[in-house]
Chain A
Amino acid sequence: MTAGNRTLWLLIPAVLLIGVCFLYPVSWLLQRSVSEPVWGLQNYATIFSRSIYLGVLWNTITIAGVTTVLCALIGFPVAYSMVHARPRIRKLLIFVVLIPFWTSILVRSFAWLVILQRGGIINDILTGIGLIAEPMDLVYNRFGVLLGMVQVLLPFMVFPLYAVMARIDGSFFRAATNLGATPVRAFFRVYLPLCLPGLGTGAMLVFIVALGYFITPALLGGRGDIMIAQLIFERIDEFGDWPLASALAIVLLVGTGLLFAIIKGVSKLRRGRI
């Protein structure tokens, strides 16, 4: 008997628990989505033909997409600054990026709500100094959702980028400029391509996690910003509409799974090439 087999029993409790309380429930959901009211794909047909559901799918993809772009635009300089900071400052910055990550989404969304509402701090300050006459709508709309989501998801972009940038040899950039490239050209032709693996991983992570977001859009968004997770919750909570809710959940699951498969495939390709 090898050492590996002797400790195999240690796996049993965890595997049993995940099997019974996770894999089985998810397969139960899949079954309900294709078996009610009758066997068939009618629930999926409903989702992909009715404009309200298509609208929510579109919202989900666009909000996740814009969040990803914003995270990349903010995450890039942040990661760059982290790599080039002194060790003490770098530790502090990592800590600062991790705090929202560890704090409850509920607490963070509530904090934004207090700051952004019509009688909130930002509107108070802006009307106080006379910059605007009327309070602005900063929350219960797309702006609020994006502000909240980018704050939460930024670590998923910053850490992969940081890992890649920390390994880039600064002499490449200097070589390009010494050979006559303008700094802008050297950045786009040398530095940015070297960062692409980190940027790609970060973007995929942000996008995938954003697709399933529920609390932030529910608290900071309006009726026009409903994402798929919120729709699933409402369908079950308010209408007990399991067939449609489970079909929506499976659509989200398949979408997420496909994107993960793409990440895996790309990273395998990249490893194979080097």
Chain B
Amino acid sequence: MFYSAKFWGALRGVINVMLVVYMLAPLVIIFVISFSSALYLTFPPPGLSLQWYEKMFSNPTWTRTLVTSLKIMVPAAIVATVLGTAAALALSRMESKWALVIRAVLMAPLVVPVIITAAAIFGVFRIWGLYGSLSGLILAHVILTLPYVLSTVSANLAVFDKRLEDAAANCGAPPWTAFRRVTLPLISPSVMSGMLFAMVISFDELVVSLFLSTPRVRPVTVQMWSNIKGDTDPTIAAIATVLFLFSLLALLADGLARRRSGREPGL
């Protein structure tokens, strides 16, 4: 039996199906429930309706917190992308031993458990008056997302042929022109990947936001957190679906960017 290709093929099929069910079933069920016509979380729903999306978009609590999340995400992702890309470029050209140390320091927020970062930033930001402010949340999200940009762009720069830039310089291009016309177009897919990563991480972030937000400045994830702990109606399923679709779109966009640059899909 062990030698039969049929047996192994069937076994792999079973494994694959079980994996897909385990990974996706909960998300699919939430997606379906969000279109339910019932008044409570039941599956399968007795009928379909858009009532929970209407409730969500007509309830100022959800619209306000969604807008707050976007107001944090957009600046945080842009700043993280610019700073992370700049740092990746500088590090790729550094020959000293310090490059390794600096890289490790910049990657640290990814390695340190986020609860520690959250508590530490909260403690200090309270003293600095950044607690409960949009700028405090943006700064904190830049810290959390910068390592993702740095590592994606660095991975691209590691395989980037530096002679192309030298060639541009030899043809008389000033450094900035060579960067803008040669380097940037070649690394732009990974810069895009990094920015998408930063956007998703920021939009989905809960732990740091939980510490830094107040009822006045509150991202949607914190609002969801406090509602889940109370009683839940399908509005939360609608919010969850919005968050899930946002991640899915970003993942697909990333796949597209990777395909165009010929990289394998991955983390």
Residues of A within 8 A of B (CB): 2-4, 6-11, 13-15, 17-19, 21-26, 28-29, 32, 77-78, 80-81, 84-85, 89, 91, 93-108, 110-115, 120-121, 124, 151, 154-155, 159, 183, 211-212, 214-215, 219, 229, 232-233, 236-237, 242, 245-246, 249, 252-253, 256, 260
Contacts and interface: CB of A to CB of B under 8 A. Distances in A.
9 contacts: A14-B83, A18-B146, A21-B121, A21-B143, A24-B124, A103-B247, A104-B221, A108-B26, A253-B116
B44 to A, nearest CB: 9
Across the A-B interface, the 7 shortest Cβ-Cβ residue pairs: A212-B113, A111-B26, A104-B204, A25-B120, A10-B90, A229-B115, A14-B87
A29 B115 CA distance: 12
Contact of B86 (A10, A18, A32, A115): A10
A78 B90 contact: no
Nearest to A6: B175
Contacts of A236: 119, 122, 211
A8 B94 contact: yes
B15 interface: yes
A33 to B, nearest CB: 11
Contacts of B206: 104-106, 215
A85 B12 CA distance: 8
Contacts of A237: 211
Considering residues B30, B108, B203, which has the most beta carbons from chain A within 10 angstroms of its beta carbon?
Answer: B30
B27 interface: yes
Given A2-B95, A111-B27, A212-B115, A97 B19 contact: yes
Interface string B72-101: 000000000001101101110111100000
Contacts of B22: 151
Contact of B96 (A4, A18, A101, A232): A4
Contacts of B225: 106, 215
A98 B252 CA distance: 11
B244 A85 contact: no
A252 B237 contact: no
B207 A107 contact: no
B73 to A, nearest CB: 13
Contact of B15 (A9, A15, A81, A106): A81
B174 interface: no
A26 B120 contact: yes
B266 A252 contact: no
A111 B120 CA distance: 30
Nearest to B83: A14
B204 A14 contact: no
Contacts of B175: 6
Contacts of A112: 26
A9 B90 CA distance: 8
Nearest to A255: B113
B41 interface: yes
Q: How large is the interface on B (under 10, 10 to 19, 20 to 34, 35 or more residues)?
A: 35 or more
Contacts of A13: 83, 86-87
Contact of A18 (B12, B27, B143): B143
A232 B90 contact: no
A95 B2 CA distance: 30
B248 interface: yes
Contacts of A96: 19-20, 23-24
Given A10-B86, A104-B247, A212-B115, A22 B27 contact: no
Contact of A100 (B8, B23, B43, B224): B23
Given A11-B87, A94-B265, A22 B108 contact: yes
Contact of A29 (B84, B116, B207, B265): B116
Contacts of B42: 124
B228 A121 contact: no
A78 B15 contact: yes
A242 B58 CA distance: 40
A15 B33 contact: no
Nearest to B118: A233
A9 B175 CA distance: 14
A2 B93 CA distance: 9
B39 interface: no
A178 B43 CA distance: 53
B117 interface: yes
A24 B128 CA distance: 13
B29 A3 contact: no
B56 to A, nearest CB: 14
Contact of B119 (A2, A101, A232): A232
A102 B251 contact: yes
